[in-house]
Structure 1
Amino acid sequence: MERGRIKVFDSLRVLAILMVFIHHYYSSKVYPELGELFLYGAFGVPLFFMISGFVISLTLERTDNFKTYLKNRFIRLSPAMIICSTLTFVFFAFFYTGEGYEHSKNIWNYLIANTFIDPHVFDLYSGEIKYYYLDNAYWSLWVEVCFYIIIGTLYFMNKRKYLLHFIIICIIMMPLQMIFYSHSARPYLLNYFSESQLDYYRLVARCLALFSECIWFIIGMFLLRLYQTKDKKFLYIIIFLLGLSVLKELNSGILVFSVSVFIFILLFVYKPEKLKFLEQPFLLKIGAASYCMYLIHYHLGVVFVKYLNENFKLGYFSPVIVIIFVIVFGLVCYEFFEKKLIRLYKRILK
């Protein structure tokens, strides 16, 4: 396997980010007649998680030690976050005059965003919710960071068994996270815990969101092993995990998504030439800049979709215009600002 980027994953990131755009911009609040249809765009985030499982496993194999690994992850994440969180905070704190988005105006939420830590971790000290995401799309970054730290720790402790150890941790933590975060389990838990205890444990469970999404990271890690070895036992494991994801959600959307992922995996591993059409230079550029697009798209994007609807009556075309603008912004931000910050970080940290 070549040491460069696997190009098809950059194109897959484009699909994932477009799914997320559609989910947020054609939401039921703005387009109630379309909200249900585009609800399935939310599966763009699990697609990102699966890509991370693959890419991070590959990155670990190419990294000498844990310290270098953490530095490289920080260098990859922080520059774009500083740029996009600052733009979001400044816009809402000093220019936005509409209703809502109070959390995006809070300086503490801005500072917390740049730690990549879930704001509710800070709430654990008081037992009540005081801090929030600067932008609600940032929730997935905490999931990613938790995965990076846990899987990196396990890998450099035991390179041969790190995946097995991660699966064992997930088997233990996943049901606990689901039980304590679920409203439906609360009446039964009240037989053993007080209301205040359950409120606190639910807050803890919210901070352990990685374990509600861990299946997708594991699929990505097994996909790497399947890609490297072509051993069909890994394909059977992936089929089992996709089936588990369907049983976990039990809706038609997850079934269609899981089948689509399975078809992609078959093509990617056994018929890669069928996916060559995805390796278009423009798609690869968008995929490389998709992180910056993800960080800026949600709160700011929804505000501009509403603005275009209310002032120019563009209807269904408003999200299209905003999507184009976000893509252009992401490309410019990545090429002219994020890359320069990354080079600065490297000089400072390395």
Structure 2
Amino acid sequence: MTQTVVNAAQDGPGAEGAPKAAPSGGRLRALDGLRLVAALMVACYHYGGRGGDITHAWGTSAARVFPTLHTPFAYGCLGVQIFFVISGFVICMSGWGRSLRSFFASRTARLMPAYWAAVLLVTAVFALPAVAYTAVSPSDALVNLTLLQQPLGVSRVLGVDWTLWAEVRFYALFALCVVLPGASRRRVILFCAGWILAAAIAQGAHQPLLDIVLMPEYAPFFVGGVGLFLVHRDRRDPYAWGIVVVSFLIGQHYAVDSLWNAADPNAFAHRTSFGIIAVVAFGFVAVGAIALGLLDRVNWPWLTVAGALTYPFYLVHEHLGWVVVETLHRRLGVPSAATFVLTVTAMLVLAWVLNKVVEERLTPRLRKALAAPRR
């Protein structure tokens, strides 16, 4: 989950044209709004579109709590794929013309402060005697602060952190292949084509190491976002459009393959292949509309705030949401619809606090410290 850059970076060596200026000094506020939409989709999935711990929080299956909405809520997990498309767009924009040091400082400072705060907060809340959910061990909690818990096989504090592990691998690939040698249209196109081809080979090779590095299941979404940034630079670029189309075709295949569960009689909700394809298409089309400038009028200042809240909201909403749902619905008897709205609202308020107290204070300081040259 990346934050939209405020100003588009200048072109790097060999670039064939300057990035198109976005409204209001370079900020694509519609992209901020789309990020919040994707985060709310994921929240709907976690609160009403799946089983697991949320069943304990409601005291019964979410399918009974939301008999009509639980099926559309089940598609909310695809908000992650939309996040990956947005990430591809934003990382290409923010990495264009930057040094490797600057890129590393920007990504680390953006990702880690809110993440550290969320890990510590969830660990502390789950350790309270009144909370019915089990906290990870102190040792595992410390490993979680490195964001390497998944490859190390350590219990995770945050259920959503697997997406951050995918983001980190994308950052590394983009940094090594594009940022380090210097971003240019040709180099970005080769990166996209090479990654898609290598990911397909990795899928066929069935080699775990290649799967970890190349992420066949998620590569099309990141690459699709990068392609859409090329479209943003030049809407007449046939290579950019080719990257977007191929990425969508492959991405929808992986989404259907992993999320279509019609053959499972015990599935919580049965997603249709058409529904999955439609949500993936929505993500590509929405980012594409922003890339083409079709949503430039969606430039309301409050969307900047929405964009700032998205990442901390995404981090804390799942696990802490269980605690709020259980407290409101099971212990206080608040109706399910009101509980849902109040829980989302509470998580947004908490996200605002984390943004103000943690991100606005630590992010610029960490970025400055990491970007400063050392002799």
So what's the TM-score if we normalise by structure 2?
Answer: 0.76
Supply the distance in 1 between the matched residues of 2:216 and 2:339 (Cα, whole angstroms): 36
Instruction: Tell me how far 1:113 sits from its aligned partner.
Output: 2.3
User: Please, which of 217, 221, 226 is the counterpart of residue 216 of structure 1?
Assistant: 221
Q: Could you tell me which residue of structure 2 aligns to residue 295 of structure 1?
A: 315
SS at match of 2:248: helix
- 2:241 — aligned with what? 235
Partner residue of 1:38? 73
Query: Match of 1:56, as an amino acid?
Result: I
Offset of residue 241 of structure 1: 2.2
Q: CA deviation at 1:18?
A: 0.8
Q: For the Cα contact (< 8 Å) 1:53–1:218, is it kept in 2?
A: yes
Q: Does 1:134 align with 2:157?
A: yes
**Structure 1 Cα separation of the partners of residues 150 and 369 of structure 2:** 30
In structure 1, distance between residues paired with 2:340 and 2:35: 19
Q: Which of 98, 106, 113 does residue 137 from structure 2 map onto?
A: 106
**Pick aligned residue for 1:283 from 300, 303, 314:** 303
1:34-70 residue CA offsets vs partner (Å, 9 max, x unmatched): 433211111111111111101111111131x212211
What does 1:52-201 align with in structure 2 at a 5 Å threshold? 52-63=87-98, 65-98=99-132, 100=133, 102=134, 104-117=135-148, 119-123=149-153, 131-155=154-178, 156-157=180-181, 159=183, 160-174=186-200, 176-177=202-203, 180=206
Under a length normalisation based on structure 1, what TM-score does the superposition of the two structures give?
0.81
Please state how far the C-alpha of 1:288 moved relative to its aligned partner: 1.8
Flag the 1:320–1:153 CA change in 2: closer, same or farther, 3 A. Answer: same
Structure 1 gaps of 5+ residues are: 124-130, 181-200
**Which deviates the most, 170-179 or 297-306?**
170-179
Q: 8 Å contact 2:49–2:75 — kept in the other structure?
A: no
Shifted more, 256-265 versus 68-77: the winner is 256-265
Distance, in Å, in 2 between the alignment partners of 1:271 and 1:173 is 31
Give 1:225's aligned residue: 230
Residue equivalent to 2:260: none
Q: Distance in 1 between matches of 2:320 and 2:89?
A: 30
Q: Which runs of 5+ in 2 are unaligned?
A: 1-19, 56-61, 257-272
CA distance in 2 between partners of 1:60 and 1:214 (Å) = 18
1:206, distance to aligned residue in structure 2 (A): 7.3
CA deviation after TM superposition for structure 1 residue 179, in Å: 7.0
Between Structure 1 and Structure 2, which shows a larger proportion of helix residues? 1
Counterpart residue number, 2:263: none
| Distance apart, 1:16 and its partner CA | 0.9
